[in-house]
Chain A
Amino acid sequence: MAADKQAQEIASLEEIRPHRGPWADAWRRLLRNKAAVIGGTFILLLILSAIFVDNWVIAKPLGKEVEPLLAPYHFAKVNFKMRDKPPLTPGYLLGSDYLGRDVLSRTLYGTRVSLAVAFVAALVSLVIGISYGLVSGYSSSRVDNLMMRFVDFLYGFPVLIFIILMQVYFKAVSRRGGSGLASVFVSIDKALGGMFFIFVALGLLNWIGMARIARGQTLAQKEKEFVEAARAVGAGHLRIIFRHILPNILGPCVVAETLAIPGYIFTEAFLSFIGLGVNPPTPSWGLMISETYQALRTSWWQSMVPGAALTLTTLAFNFLGDGLRDALDPRLRGT
């Protein structure tokens, strides 16, 4: 009788609160976080503007301008008569730079570079890092030890310095043209305005932290009962890794990666700043700042507009990352 009553109570509770999976729960918690929603919306808008910038606000072909909404000039359109114009000049809503190029148009196109670097580097780091961490954490302690020793070993490396040196190498190779496979990469890089090698350099060197996180999570998950249960019913290693462990470690890894994205955006801006990033005239926010920060006294908007874009974007990723962390692991709320 008592059991019946309990079952009824549980049933009535379920009526009030319909069953939701952990992801749906996390989603609802995320939506309650105002900062995260603002950050996420901002990133969504950035992605949309990066994708549609060509046919949305800016006349597409260089030279043949049609009537656009915000920025009538292409990002590479040089006009010496319109040099260093302040914001709100007709046709140059946010002013023009030292070559008479539209700052707004360049900033909007710069979104592409920053976001592309952010997402590709994050994806590469996630894939390599999680695979490495999963294998290491799931393997026997000998293999695990060996793999983690290697990670410890790499941990002492000055990452940014190696990114710089790799970029020097890539730049020199692409100036030479290269042969065979190298020439394929060089032409891909040229087509992407110099972004491809930044992806490679960032991706190759930034998975180390992710591997550590993924391994720690895997170690914790593989001792859980559901893994044992899966093994008991005869699931293979691959099935256990991909069906049972991976979904459970994905949350913390994605959170850590979201919080790492501002770092990638900074790195790209920094590389472009010292002339080892995208190829001019591809507009990158870092490149725009480096070209104009010495003219602050007379034309502040030239470096402050891309600077504001850079700051707002990293702010949005930080808001979203914090929100995701709180949503996926409510115990950490407010920390």
Chain B
Amino acid sequence: MGAPCVGAPTIAIAEATRRMTRYIIRRVLWFIPVLLAIMAVTFFLAYITPGGPFDFAGEKQLPPAVRQNLMQKYGLDRPAYEQFARWLWNAIRGDLGPSYFYKGRSVNEVLSQTFPISAQLGALALLLGLLIGVPMGIIAALKQNTIWDYSSTFIAILGVSIPNLVLGPLLIWIFALKLGWFPTARWAVNYKELVLGFFPPPDKLWPFIKHATLPAITLGTGLSASIARLTRASLLQVIREDYIRTARAKGLPERTIIIVHALKNSMIPVVTVLGPMFAGVVTGSLIVEQIFAIPGMGKFFVTSVTNRDYPVILGTTLLYSVLLVVANLFVDIVYAWLDPRIRYD
């Protein structure tokens, strides 16, 4: 570690940074065709589906003349490629069009009102997943083949196996209906009252927590269970590695070995599944928002699918897809940071 060596790591770091930047740029450019294809397929599916958004007004069938006028108003009588091109052009400029079902509201409005709620729910669930899953996995791995290990492994497999569709009603039944500890449905905070568009205002914190607890647990249980399983498996593998033996041989205290040497490396597989997990949160929110009547994006998406509200379907799909690709990129970057052996060329 003499003076001549000082320059070398700096150069290596600069090289790594440059490589990383190039990689990120390439990945971001890759988004463009992916998103275009997703939107084209979504549009195409909506276009070829028989029937349309203006077939019915409530239960009654709309007269053909009225339907014709409405179709004309929204440009649905134009050829498919023209409709798609127009939608795309507007979307690029940030305008996702009017909702067909919620008269007088634009898709931008619908999304800006429902997205923060879904984001809150998703963030709480992910937080819960990490806060419970990681410690549970660590305990199980460090106390392998003890009662701690067996019980947490069992709880984890139960947790991955119980679907949101079952856990939601079960929690409502026990904790809302039988014990009366929590409300059964809805979200306490309106999108207008959110601080910075995301956080609940301090005076509404308590009702917020009360309303959010059951849905967040419903969505977070599966996550924490799979995170626990992964953490355990990966930590078990890491503590058998040579560098851990080296650390032991150096006489480091056990706590340092686990925290400094083992944990960071054992988190690598956990990070790689955070991308798919994020997708799981999105999927799960479709169900959880339905069960708990939470006015989030998932609930609106399902409603707009039944109503054939195409602009809302397209807009929501776009937002979900952007979130998904960005989450995957983020995961890859964190992955590289955790494991410098990974090279992006």
Contacts and interface: CB of A to CB of B under 8 A. Distances in A.
B306 A311 contact: no
A5 interface: no
Interface string B288-308: 001100000000011001101
Interface string B271-296: 00000000100110011001100000
B161 A269 contact: no
Interface of A is mostly: helix
Given A172-B49, A173-B50, A274-B302, A307 B169 contact: yes
B135 interface: no
Contact of B169 (A158, A293, A334): A293
A274 B290 contact: yes
A311 B161 contact: yes
B161 A315 contact: yes
A270 B280 CA distance: 13
Contact of B306 (A166, A275, A304): A275
B155 to A, nearest CB: 12
Contacts of A43: none
Contacts of B290: 273-274
Contacts of B306: 274-275
Interface stretch (B31-39, B92-100, B101-109): B31-39
Interface string B24-56: 000000010111011001100110111100000
B120 interface: no
A304 B169 contact: yes
Interface stretch (A51-59, A72-80, A222-230, A295-303): A295-303
A286 interface: yes
Contact of B165 (A270, A276, A296, A335): A270
Interface string B133-167: 00000000000100000000000011011110110
Interface in B206-243: 232-234, 236-237
Contacts of B38: 156-158
B322 to A, nearest CB: 10
Interface string A272-301: 011110000000001001000100110010
A158 B49 contact: no
Interface of B: 31, 33-35, 37-38, 41-42, 45-46, 48-51, 144, 157-158, 160-163, 165-166, 168-170, 172-173, 177, 232-234, 236-237, 279, 282-283, 286-287, 290-291, 301-302, 305-306, 308, 313, 317, 320-321, 324-325, 328
18 contacts: A156-B38, A169-B49, A173-B49, A173-B50, A176-B50, A266-B165, A270-B163, A273-B287, A273-B290, A274-B302, A289-B166, A289-B169, A293-B291, A304-B170, A308-B166, A310-B166, A335-B232, A335-B237
